[in-house]
Amino acid sequence: MKRSVSMALLLSLCWLGGLAAQGSSDEQALRARADEFVAAWSHHDAKGLAAIWAPDGDLINPFGRVAKGRKAIEALFVDEHAGMMKGTTFTIDSRETRMLDATTAIQDWEVTVGGMMPPGATAPMSLKHHVTVVCVKKNGSWWVAAARPVVYTPAPDAAHH
């Protein structure tokens, strides 16, 4: 009996260890996918930026522009990087990953885009914002299904209530 309990405990630990290793492997793959995005941004490679999206993925940029499908996402990046995003840097300052199940994850990135030159600007500016990224695992690879970069506005002053 004692041997059976020990064997069951050992098998359970091995199974849990396998789950933890899988989770760690998935988190590493998700991190690598995000790093691909950062590298493509630094080369202003719209095709590379869009390549991390699932073919049917979508993006709503921080300015409200919507792109559905990899081709439309690539076109959005082409436009952005020909304009105020030209020459910018993209840094993921911090990130968290939450695995919803074996094939779905949500990532939260705190991001800084440096060197932006909006129309009328006389000096480069930085844009700090948050990106929520929904990723799906298909055929062993992680893809962005949806990304929602947002710029949070300051809370209203309590004195104005």
Check if the beta carbon of residue 121 is closer than 8 Å to that of residue 33.
no
Look at the block and give the residue holding tokens 């630094």: 42
Give which of 6, 2, 23, 14 is closest to 98, Cα–Cα: 23
Q: For the domain 2-160, what is the CATH code?
A: 3.10.450.50
103 confidence band (pLDDT: 50, 70, 90)? very high
Question: Residues 146, 142, 27, 111: is their CA dihedral positive or negative?
Answer: negative
Quickly tell me which residue has 């940029």 as its tokens: 61
Q: What is the pTM of this model?
A: 0.81
pLDDT surpassing 60 at residue 27: yes
Report which of 105, 109, 89, 112 is spatially closest to residue 26, judged by C-alpha positions.
Answer: 105
Strand segments (E) across the chain: 53-60, 66-68, 89-101, 104-116, 125-138, 141-150
| One-letter amino acid of 57 | G
Residue 14 has pLDDT above 80, yes or no: no
What residue spans define the domains of the chain?
2-160
pLDDT of 15 over the 50 cut: no
Which residue has better confidence, 5 or 142? 142
Pairing of strands 66-68, 104-116: unpaired
HSE of 61, CA atoms in CB hemisphere, 13 A: 17
